[in-house]
Each structure stands twice: as structure tokens, then as C-alpha cells.
């Protein structure tokens, strides 16, 4: 499986990320031809080799004649109505939709009320679609990233300006729970390093870790800044993931906790289950059993990391009437899973994707999102779930 790992050394913007792919081998002529499918004339793109603090890389220039600030709906409709491959359209709309929701949060309004608000100029569209199309040309199946480099937290530098990080950038970070690099003195005075478009691309497409893989290409994208203390560059590593040893990783250091109870109410058992999950249990369940003197009872079971064993036993002894808790070490095989946001025909839906042997084999739309759409639209819940399942299978599984 081919993967990309993003290293935002000195920040990340849409044009820097796209430049890194060009530096890694994405043909500029092919990119120009692909972007024509957007049917949005009035721009040109070019690239060249430059340096930032002795770091060589590619600088991308997007020259736009029309500086109109377009609404979120216009940008998304432009992508959806284009002749681009479906996977490029779907992922581009996901990025633009996340950017739209972040702007809505900043404005303190529902997303739909931003229909006439500014979101970005044509170069926003070029950066987003170009980067995603470039990943497809390079054969990238999964994207990973190091923590985002936000720059120094500073107040506005001029009257009417915004602080760094930009409000929309910070909202995208919060929406995704993305990790950010520590603040460092070298970033002071440099201003914005990660832009909203750069943040939208990375937080929408990438997982924040570095997997085991063999690197065979590195692309370096340059920003417009050239501070004295660090290079304003982003690197994209490309390579092949190391084949997994088996169909699913074997996990140890796990404890199974159990206790039998015949004098407990369902309320108490449910409360204990909630507390165990809050503590960090991997799974908690209870099963009906027949106990002495023909009394109906339950077994409360919990699967948890070994380091939580004592604390979990104390919680069960304190919160239930049981007099004893059994524990034993266990091992398990666990499929890799990833929660992604899918832009469906009905709206954004969170989907849990399961991987076995590095391949996505199933996708499960979240009930709460399907319920929300059913209530908002009046479409029966079962129909929403059926359509969401079909689209998730098409978009997210191999």
C-alpha cells in the first residue's frame, strides 16, 4: 500500500502541499490538464526551484485574474459538477465542507447561513483539488502527518487583522483533535504558518502518526515566507507500507475482569459499566446467569489494559454489592479501525472503517449522524442508514 507522510517543518498551506507533490514527481502539465475539468478559467499555475534557509524545494505560483471571494456552496458545486474522477470530487468536497463548517463556527452561525459569505478565491479550489488529484496520480492510498506547526500565538499585527493562528485554522484543529507542535522562540514574528486551506487538507485526509514504511520519494514544498530562524517548508514522504505480519495485530497486556452478582439492580450495573468505560476499559458487558438457590443473576465483565486492573477492581467493589472480582490476563486480535467523515448525498456522516491486513473491508455509518439527518429531512431512518451504507461501501472500502 502506497502512503504519504506529511512533515510540516515550517508550516503548511495549500500551495505548499501541492508544490511538495510536484517536487516529488507530479507532472505540472498533467496537473494543468486535470484542473481544466473544473471549467473555471482565469488562472495559471507555474512552479520553480528555490531555497529556504538552504533547503531546496519547489515553489508553486497560482496566478489568478479573478480575485472574487466565492461562497462555500459555489466552490463545492463547482467540484461536484466537474468531470474529475469521483474519488477526487468526494475528497475535495470533504475538505471544502470541513473548511465551511470551521468558518461557520468562527462566524457563530449555522453552516447553511454562510451561503453568501466569503470562503476563498479560485486559488483555494486549485490548491484543494490539485493536491487530492496529485495524491491519486501518485497512487497514494493513505495519508499520515506529523503534528501541525502553527507558529507563535500572537495578537493581530495590524488594525482589523486576526490573531495567529487564524480562527478558522484553529477551529479545524479542534474539530479533528489534531496534535500541534510545541511553540518555539524561532517562530516569533513569523506570523501565520499553517493556513486554513493547509489545515483543512491535512486534518481531513491524514491520520496523525507515522507508520512503518519504506521511503522512496521525498517532495519539498516552499512557502512565500523566508524568516531568518527556520525554513518555511513542508515535506511529503512517499513510500510503501511495510506488510503486516498477520491479518490483524495481536494485543497483549490486557486483563479480563469478571464478577457474579444476584442482588444488584440494572441501574447499578449500568452505572458501573459507564464508569468503567470512562476509566478506559476496552469493552464492558453483562450476561444473565443462574446462581445458587435458583436466583437469577448477572456476570459483569470488562476488558481493559493491565495497568487499569487495580483501579477497575476497586471501582467495581465500591460501586456494586459484589464481594469479589476475578481477573486473568488475556490476549486478543483486533482489527485496525479508523473514524472518517464522509460527505454523502445527505450531508456529512461519521463512518467507522475496519481494516484487515491493511485493506478496508467494511464501513459502518454512525447511528447518531443518521438519526440527525432523518430528523432534519424527514426521510425514514432505515432509508438514511441504507443509503449511507451504500455510499460508505462505495467510497471507503476496497
The mean pLDDT value of the chain amounts to: 89
Q: Does residue 244 register a pLDDT over 60?
A: no
Q: Hey, what CATH topology would domain 250-333 get? A: Alpha-Beta Plaits (3.30.70)
Half-sphere exposure of 293 (CA within 13 A, CB side): 3
Q: What is the pLDDT, as a whole number, of residue 116?
A: 40
Q: What's the grid cell of residue 388?
A: 449511507
Binned at pLDDT 50, 70 and 90, residue 339 comes out as confident
Domain with CATH 3.30.70.1380 in the chain: 250-333
The Cα–Cα gap between 195 and 166 comes to 7
Residue 114 is predicted with a pLDDT of: 57
- As a whole number of angstroms, the distance between CA 102 and CA 117 comes to 13
> What is the model's pLDDT at position 287?
94
pLDDT of residue 284: 96
d(CA 117, CA 104): 9
258: phi then psi, degrees, rounded to nearest 5:
-145, 150
Helix (H, G, I), strand (E, B) or coil at 135: helix
Sign of CA dihedral 13, 19, 23, 24: positive
* pLDDT tens column, 352-363: 999 887 778 899
State what percent of residues in the chain have pLDDT above 70. 94
C-alpha to C-alpha distance for 129 and 79, rounded to whole angstroms: 8
Distance CA 12, CA 143 (A): 15
- Higher pLDDT, residue 91 or 117: 91
Is 299 a residue whose pLDDT tops 90?
A: yes
Omega before 165 within 30 of 0, i.e. cis: yes
CATH architecture designation of domain 336-396: Roll (3.10)
Residue 212: pLDDT over 50: yes
Q: For CATH 3.10.20.300, list the domain ranges present in the chain.
A: 336-396
Residue 119 is predicted with a pLDDT of 58
How many other CB atoms are there within 10 angstroms of residue 185's CB atom?
A: 8
359, HSE (Cβ side, Cα atoms, 13 Å) = 5
Q: DSSP for 45-79?
A: EEEEEEEETTEEEEEEEEEES--PPBPHHHHHHHH
Query: Which residues on adjacent β-strands are paired with residue 241?
Result: 213
pLDDT(315) > 90: yes
Mean pLDDT, to the nearest integer, of 255-275?
Answer: 94
Residue 158: which pLDDT band, with cuts at 50, 70 and 90? Answer: low
Stated pTM of the model:
0.65
Q: Given this model, what pLDDT does residue 120 score?
A: 66
Per-residue pLDDT tens digits for 161-211: 677 888 999 999 998 889 999 888 898 888 899 999 999 999 999 999 888
Asked if 201 contacts 14 with a C-beta cutoff of 8 angstroms, the reply is yes
What is the maximum span of the chain, computed from C-alpha positions, in angstroms? 85
Binned at pLDDT 50, 70 and 90, residue 103 comes out as confident
Q: Which of 6-15, 53-62, 237-246, 323-332 has the lowest mean pLDDT?
A: 237-246
Q: 266 and 28 in contact (C-beta within 8 Å)?
A: no
Q: Output the pLDDT for position 160.
A: 65
**pLDDT at residue 117, rounded to an integer:** 43
CA 101 to CA 96: how far, in whole Å?
A: 9
In terms of Cβ atoms closer than 10 Å to its own Cβ (0-12, 13-18, 19+), residue 257 is buried
3-state secondary structure labels for all residues of 14-40: HHHHHHHHHHCCCCHHHHHHHHHHHCC
Question: Quick one: average pLDDT of 15-38?
Answer: 96
> Cell numbers at residue 53, please?
534557509
Query: How many C-beta neighbours within 10 Å does residue 291 have?
Result: 14
Mean pLDDT of 300-317: 94
**Distance separating alpha carbons of residues 7 and 112, to the nearest angstrom:** 34
Q: What average pLDDT does this structure show over 85-111?
A: 86
Amino acid at each position: 500500500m502506497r502512503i504519504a507522510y506529511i512533515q510540516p517543518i515550517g508550516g503548511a498551506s495549500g500551495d505548499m502541499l501541492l508544490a511538495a507533490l510536484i517536487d516529488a514527481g507530479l507532472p505540472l502539465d498533467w496537473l494543468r490538464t486535470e484542473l481544466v475539468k473544473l471549467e473555471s478559467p482565469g488562472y495559471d499555475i507555474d512552479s520553480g526551484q528555490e531555497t529556504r534557509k538552504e533547503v531546496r524545494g519547489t515553489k508553486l505560483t497560482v496566478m489568478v485574474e479573478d480575485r472574487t471571494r466565492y461562497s462555500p456552496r459555489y466552490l463545492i458545486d463547482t467540484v461536484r459538477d466537474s468531470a474529475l474522477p469521483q474519488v477526487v470530487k468526494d475528497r475535495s468536497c470533504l475538505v471544502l465542507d470541513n473548511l465551511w463548517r470551521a468558518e461557520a463556527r468562527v462566524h457563530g452561525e449555522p453552516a447553511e447561513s454562510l451561503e453568501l459569505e466569503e470562503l476563498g478565491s479560485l486559488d483555494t479550489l486549485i490548491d484543494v483539488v490539485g493536491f487530492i488529484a496529485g495524491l491519486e496520480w501518485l497512487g497514494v492510498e493513505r495519508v499520515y502527518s506529523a503534528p501541525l506547526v502553527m507558529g507563535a500565538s500572537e495578537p493581530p499585527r495590524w488594525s482589523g487583522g486576526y490573531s495567529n493562528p487564524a480562527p478558522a485554522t484553529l477551529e479545524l484543529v479542534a474539530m479533528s483533535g489534531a496534535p500541534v507542535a510545541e511553540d518555539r522562540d524561532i517562530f516569533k514574528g513569523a506570523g501565520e504558518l499553517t493556513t486554513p486551506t493547509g489545515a483543512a487538507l491535512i486534518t481531513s485526509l491524514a491520520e496523525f502518526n507515522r507508520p512503518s514504511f519504506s521511503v522512496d520519494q521525498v517532495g519539498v514544498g516552499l512557502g512565500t515566507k523566508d524568516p531568518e530562524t527556520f525554513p518555511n517548508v513542508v515535506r511529503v514522504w512517499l513510500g510503501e507500507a511495510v506488510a503486516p505480519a498477520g491479518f490483524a495485530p495481536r494485543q497483549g497486556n490486557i486483563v479480563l475482569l469478571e464478577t457474579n452478582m444476584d442482588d444488584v439492580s440494572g441501574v447499578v450495573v449500568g452505572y458501573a459499566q459507564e464508569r468503567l468505560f470512562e476509566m478506559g476499559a476496552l469493552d464492558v458487558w453483562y450476561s444473565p446467569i443462574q446462581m445458587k438457590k435458583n436466583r437469577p443473576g448477572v456476570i459483569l465483565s470488562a476488558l481493559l489494559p493491565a495497568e487499569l486492573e487495580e483501579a477497575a477492581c476497586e471501582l467495581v467493589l465500591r460501586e456494586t454489592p459484589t464481594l469479589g472480582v476475578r481477573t486473568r490476563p488475556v490476549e486478543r486480535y483486533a482489527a485496525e479501525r479508523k473514524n472518517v467523515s464522509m460527505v454523502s448525498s445527505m450531508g456529512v456522516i461519521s463512518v467507522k472503517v475496519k481494516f484487515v491486513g491493511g485493506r478496508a473491508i467494511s464501513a459502518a455509518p454512525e447511528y447518531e449522524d443518521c438519526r440527525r439527518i432523518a430528523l432534519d429531512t424527514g426521510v425514514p431512518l432505515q432509508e438514511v442508514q441504507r443509503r449511507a451504507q451504500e455510499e460508505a461501501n462505495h467510497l471507503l472500502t476496497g
